[in-house]
Amino acid sequence: MKVLVVEDDAETADYVVRGLTEAGHVVDRAADGREGLFLASDGGYDVLVVDRMLPKLDGLGLVRALRAAGVRTPALFLTARAGVGDRVEGLEAGADDYLGKPFAFAELLARLNALARRPPLSAEPTVLRVADLEVDLLKRMVTRGGQRIELQPREFRLLEYLMRRAGQVVTRTMLLEGVWDFHFDPRTSVVETHISRLRAKLDREGAPPLIHTMRGAGYCLRAPD
């Protein structure tokens, strides 16, 4: 089993790394969240051990970023914050298990073995493409015809939502829930405004339009006819 331990406390990290190594596993260690995200992003590990409180990028942000990028490597949070609310928040962020500190190494090892035995989920793509439009989810980069397009965070989320449903009609309600997390109608033109801005950036220099308005239904992102 190949394990990545993301832990900034040197004593805890050494204890976990040593125990896993002695158990016959291959172990890498990252001392902060950014390094952990970089190492885990290629999906080459069987399981991740992630401290919740990390410098540069906390454990929640690390796991959320991996899941958003389609990396499904099982992750176990190892942390002193083990209240019910903390556990729920961690699991909702995409973690697969939660173990509070202090912990028994035998239990940690048993939990990691159980996670590693789970059948792998079908891998999700990390690069989305429609015609000459490309969205790299790991690099958070958008290009069309090889030319980079700079998007604001909400515009990126909107485009990703449409790209994942390319060829399908997406309603205004779906966009409000999936992109803005609104479960009510705010009675504003926020969707229409962002669609207009996104079109202006994607269809520069006479490029054929990719986002089409479906009258009375919503929007559809598809390759030009």
Which of 117, 148, 176 finishes a domain?
Answer: 117
Is 29 in a helix, a strand, or coil?
A: strand
Q: What is the spatial order of strands in the sheet that 26-30 belongs to?
A: 26-30, 2-6, 47-50, 75-79, 97-100
Query: For each of the chain's 225 residues, which pLDDT tens digit applies?
Result: 899 999 999 999 999 999 999 999 999 999 999 999 999 987 689 999 999 889 999 988 999 999 888 888 999 998 776 566 667 777 777 888 888 888 899 999 999 998 888 765 545 678 899 999 999 988 889 999 999 999 999 999 999 999 999 999 999 999 999 899 888 888 889 999 999 999 999 998 788 999 999 998 999 999 987
Query: What is the structure's pLDDT at 82?
Result: 58
Asked if residue 163 belongs to a domain, the reply is: yes
- Contact present, 62 and 54 (Cβ < 8 Å): yes
Q: Where are the beta strands (DSSP E) in 22-167?
A: 26-30, 47-50, 75-79, 97-100, 127-130, 133-136, 141-144, 147-149
Q: Where are the beta strands (DSSP E) in 93-204?
A: 97-100, 127-130, 133-136, 141-144, 147-149
Q: Which residues contact 112 (CB under 8 A, 6 or more apart)?
A: 1, 3, 20, 47, 49, 76
Asked if residue 122 belongs to a domain, the reply is: no
Query: What is the structure's pLDDT at 57?
Result: 92
Distances (CA, A) of 109 to 18, 83, 93, 94: 12, 22, 22, 20
> Total domain count for the chain?
2
| Residues 93, 22 within the same domain | yes
| Residues 108, 134 within the same domain | no
Domain range spanning residue 189?
A: 127-221
CATH label of the domain that carries residue 214: 1.10.10.10
Q: Which residues contact 178 (CB under 8 A, 6 or more apart)?
A: 161
Query: What is the structure's pLDDT at 84?
Result: 67
| Residues 144, 69 within the same domain | no
Query: What is the structure's pLDDT at 21?
Result: 94
| Residues 106, 134 within the same domain | no
Query: What is the structure's pLDDT at 101?
Result: 84
Overall pTM surpassing 0.85 (yes/no): no
Which of 99, 117, 135 finishes a domain?
Answer: 117
Distance CA 15, CA 4 (A): 14
- Which residue is listed with tokens 């439009």? 133
Which of 98, 117, 136 finishes a domain?
Answer: 117
